[in-house]
Amino acid sequence: MAEQWDDEGAFEDEADRLVGEVDLDERNPFDLSKALEGAALDELNPSVKRFELHAEFTPGGDQPKAIEKLISQLENGQERCVLLGVTGSGKTFAMAHVIQKLNIPTLIMSHNKTLARQLHQEMVGYFPKNAVEYFVSHYDYYQPEAYLAKRDLYIDKELSINERIEQERFAAVASLVTRPDCVVVSSVSCIYGLNPPETFLEYHVRCAVGQVIETSDLLRELIELQYRRTTTDLNRGECRVRGEVIDVWMPSRDDPLRIVFDFDGIKSIQICDPVTWDVLDELDEAWIHPKEFFMTSPERFESALESIETELNARSKFYAREGRELERYRIEQRTEYDLEMLREIGHCQAIENYSLHFDGRERGQRPYCLLDFFAACANQFHGNPEKFLVIMDESHVSLPQVGGMYHGDRSRKESLIEHGFRLPTAADNRPLKIPEFQSLVPQMVYVSATPGERELRHLCEITGQSLPKGLEHATSQGGAGPADRDKKHPEAESMYDMLQTIEGIAKMELRPTGLLDPEIEVRPTAGQINDLLTEINARIERSQRCLVTVLTIKFAEEVAAYLNRMGVKAHHLHSEIDTIERTEIINALRHGHIDVIVGINLLREGLDIPEVSLVAIFDADRQGFLRNERSLLQTIGRAARNQEGKVLLYADGFSPAMEAAIRQTLERRQRQHANNVALGITPRTIVKALPVMGDTTDELIAGTTTGGDGSRRLIAKKGGRKDGDWAQRLNLGAGSWASASENNNSSIGKSNSQLESSNTGQSQPELSASERSELLTELRAEMETAAKSLDFEQAARLRDRIYEIEHMNEE
């Protein structure tokens, strides 16, 4: 591939010429000063606009020492720090104290949207007066463009954009370029391409009371920012003129602006309610940012089109020399169509593949991303582009995920480029490589209960410590390339041993609540099922819940089935169950509709169930990923939120991972108990509100509905389970959980009888075409509502239900 791309020297020379004509190199993409001229910069001084932490409690347990240690390290310029916090130790609260003390822009990264949302909500509570934003992928559904050469199968790009998340992405970027007190909670989408910060802020309209301007001139400027003019109802990204009034609704706001004119210019700027249009607030000035993230000047747009044509000609000649007419036809047809769309409407479906041409970047140069906005914010308001902080939550998972993004994207793009579906520069529309990411982050705190080898090695390198045995094989960059395949030497020390020898780790092992790490017992595998059953029944009598971890899908289903036959309400949980049904099962456990979940690898990070007092791990002595030291510690931690927490390890021997996990847990438990005795602390189980179940949407997903007379009926078969499945026979499906929460005995009985009849092979009522269409319309509306409310789990459940109903006739 490299030789083929280098053959296009003519394209590169011509592209360099076109870039030079625009003189983009003379601009500093991190300089916001010109764009901010006239703003109230005194009010934006970091000494005035400080982070203000609001909390009902003060740090306790190990929190004060850990916070002090992290602040000392960061203020002394240490580039990488590690915070080791056990489950329930208050890691988020510690993060908030560090942010308040340092008073610099902070990016908090998480490895999935759900956990990122939880972090965002907590941070909003801690910093209600500051800019706490949420920046994750704005797709409800995204199928990237791909070509499978072995099957000669081309897959076109499909996507569904979440308007609410798009709004929050805009809000995050707008805050970073206009104020110094920003905390952004993000997923790995922060390493994907954006416009340069200066470009985003340059293309804006600034209105001020008393400004002399005509309504037509302001309207023209809004149209240039890609706002769509409308004469009816106003939506985000639209503007409207009514006499001497212009209404505009920015994508980043929940409420529109009303700009009122008189003979001398702008008379007032009002924030209005989007429904009643009552005035909520009056402004002296307003910044109206572009409707789209990506903006470019007319000159840059034209030069980009020329550059694309130049690359297309070079690529077409290459295929002609190679005698590959099919690929030549493909690239010409697709690129010429995109160019025509760009000339006619200024946009095309695959415009991101031409980002290098529009940005004016060199081949191989990294794209701009959210980290550049942090650098611009730090430079403008704090006087140093490196004066911002990154906190990586669950770093043992997040760091490898960041490293893997580039390689996955590259593999897919190379197939498209090789077979003539995209130009070679499409590969430059990509996430950051892990070395690029690390080089952009001036200071980072790795946060985890089980820090990975990469983070520990990085800390040793930064602080000049000698590496523990075997750790030299772990790449500190956290990538997913070939070097990572040998990241841990077979003779490497356990994580426990490394943590004893590595200095500088901030540790939070004493919980403010006084809760202890769970008790651990190792029991033989002979008779393990019956032994477990006895323990489970004892917990059920005390209204407590249990988690059981096994190694295979088949064994998980068999154990759950056996427990059900013994009268225990159990359910399996593994990768073959729909993502959203997994959440449904966990919520049912918390409500007590089931007492036991039998799972494999899903009962780890982020699973917060205070009702669980027993965790059982089968085959605990087996070597491998599912039973390594970190996996065992994460699973053991699921019982750490209950004062009666206990863990059973079923094994016939002791693996090194078992020994390290047990030793670490028991030593922590002893220290925690001694601290409680010394301070007179009585441990108490964490109290957490139960999730809401049983609403109308749950019924639709479950395949039931409530009529006007209060009766329930089965409207369609719930897919994903085979006839005669034990879970359905025992009424453990979604319909039963939803029913149980409604306290309607007659309705519950009717629903259950219908489910039983379906399981015994009796015919189910078929939906007519009109009923099916009406149901799909209702489900789609519910899905959009859930997505706009950021309830991704509910939205995905509805998506799965829609798919099942659409394919009913195919079964």
Same domain, 796 and 740: yes
Lowest mean pLDDT segment, chosen from 124-138, 170-184, 759-773, 783-797: 759-773
Structure tokens at 581: 């049904």
- Is residue 748 assigned to a domain? yes
Mean pLDDT on 419-427: 92
Same domain, 531 and 669: yes
Mean pLDDT on 746-755: 34
Same domain, 534 and 659: yes
199 pLDDT band, cuts 50/70/90, is: low
- Is residue 789 assigned to a domain? yes
Contact assessment for residue 12 and residue 367, using Cβ atoms and an 8 Å cutoff: no
Please report how many Cα atoms fall inside a 13 Å half-sphere around the Cα of residue 359, on the Cβ side: 29
- Is residue 371 assigned to a domain? no
Integer Cα distance of 116 and 110 in angstroms: 5
Same domain, 271 and 306: no
- Among residues 440, 426, 434, 437, the alpha carbon closest in space to that of 356 is found at 426
DSSP string, 254-283: SS-EEEEEETTEEEEEEEE-TTT--EEEEE
Same domain, 305 and 220: no
Looking at residue 443, what is its pLDDT?
95
Same domain, 549 and 625: yes
Same domain, 563 and 704: no
Q: Is pLDDT larger for residue 84 or for residue 601?
A: 84
Integer Cα distance of 164 and 786 in angstroms: 11
Residue 673 sits in which domain range? 519-679
Q: Select from 654, 679, 704 the last residue of a domain.
A: 679
Same domain, 528 and 646: yes
Q: Please, what is the Cα angle at 252 between 247 and 255, to 5 degrees? A: 45
- Is residue 532 assigned to a domain? yes
What is the distance in angstroms between the CA of the first residue and the CA of the last residue of the chain? 45
Same domain, 217 and 281: yes
- Is residue 293 assigned to a domain? no
- Is residue 364 assigned to a domain? no
Looking at residue 583, what is its pLDDT?
66
Q: Select from 288, 317, 341 the last residue of a domain.
A: 288
Mean pLDDT on 652-681: 89
pLDDT in tens, 249-269: 887 677 888 999 988 889 998
Structure tokens at 46: 């970091």
pLDDT in tens, 517-572: 899 999 999 989 999 999 999 999 999 999 999 998 889 999 999 999 999 999 98
Number of domains in the chain: 4
- Is residue 368 assigned to a domain? no
Q: Select from 644, 679, 714 the last residue of a domain.
A: 679
Same domain, 711 and 641: no
Question: Chain-wide mean pLDDT for the chain?
Answer: 78
Same domain, 719 and 769: yes
pTM over 0.85: no
- Is residue 182 assigned to a domain? no
Burial class (CB in 10 A: 0-12, 13-18, 19+), 251: buried
Same domain, 661 and 716: no
